[in-house]
Amino acid sequence: MADIHPHTTIGHVHLKVADLDRAIGFYSGVLGFAVTQRFGSQAAFLSAGGYHHHIGLNTWESAGGTPAPRGHTGLYHTAFLYPNRAELADALHRVVSAGIPIDGAADHGVSEAIYITDPDGNGVELYRDRPKADWPRDAAGNLKMGNAPLDLKALLNERRSRD
């Protein structure tokens, strides 16, 4: 079995969307990704930090379409990693201010995560990792992830302390 190089990362995701402007409104207007290029009403590319794109949105096969029904295969969620807890708190503040429902929130021990759904029914995880040295491990040194509740109010308070 071949091992993948440990510095390999996922570079970007392309999502089929029903309405490009609506999707841009969510990924750019709420989450804050910048539109780097747009191809009329058919596609757009968005990024964080000036990269060519982290997210591709297109209507090539999905204009006016509906989300896949439950019980079918497909993308479970995309996950956006924030550099620290204060930035995750800022993202949560923008989501709440936009009136987007929170589907779930968890403290996994290794990370803190907030789960929402985009306008096309795609799952979105907003999270931050704890430092690797703080990850929970059992006596044998094996990773022990969990699924404890995440206190969103405390997280939002951390954002306010940044102001």
pLDDT at 159 (0 to 100): 83
Number of domains in the chain: 2
Give the pair of three-digit tokens for residue 145: 């992830």
**Which residues lie closer than 8 Å to 36 by C-beta, 6 or more apart?**
45, 46, 47, 51, 52, 53
Provide the whole-model pTM: 0.92
Give the pair of three-digit tokens for residue 108: 């996994």
Task: Tell me, yes or no, whether 161 and 90 share the same domain.
Answer: yes
For residue 71, being part of any structural domain is answered with no
Give the pair of three-digit tokens for residue 65: 């379409």
Task: Tell me, yes or no, whether 56 and 94 share the same domain.
Answer: no
Which structural domain, as residue segments, surrounds residue 42? 9-62
Task: Tell me, yes or no, whether 36 and 95 share the same domain.
Answer: no
Q: Which of 62, 87, 102 is the last residue of a domain?
A: 62
pLDDT at 161 (0 to 100): 52
Flag residues of the chain having pLDDT under 70.
160-163
For residue 3, being part of any structural domain is answered with no
pLDDT at 82 (0 to 100): 96
pLDDT at 53 (0 to 100): 94
Concatenated DSSP letters for 20-45? Answer: HHHHHIIIIIIT-PEEEEEETTTEEE
For residue 143, being part of any structural domain is answered with yes
For residue 69, being part of any structural domain is answered with no
- CATH classification at residue 156: 3.10.180.10
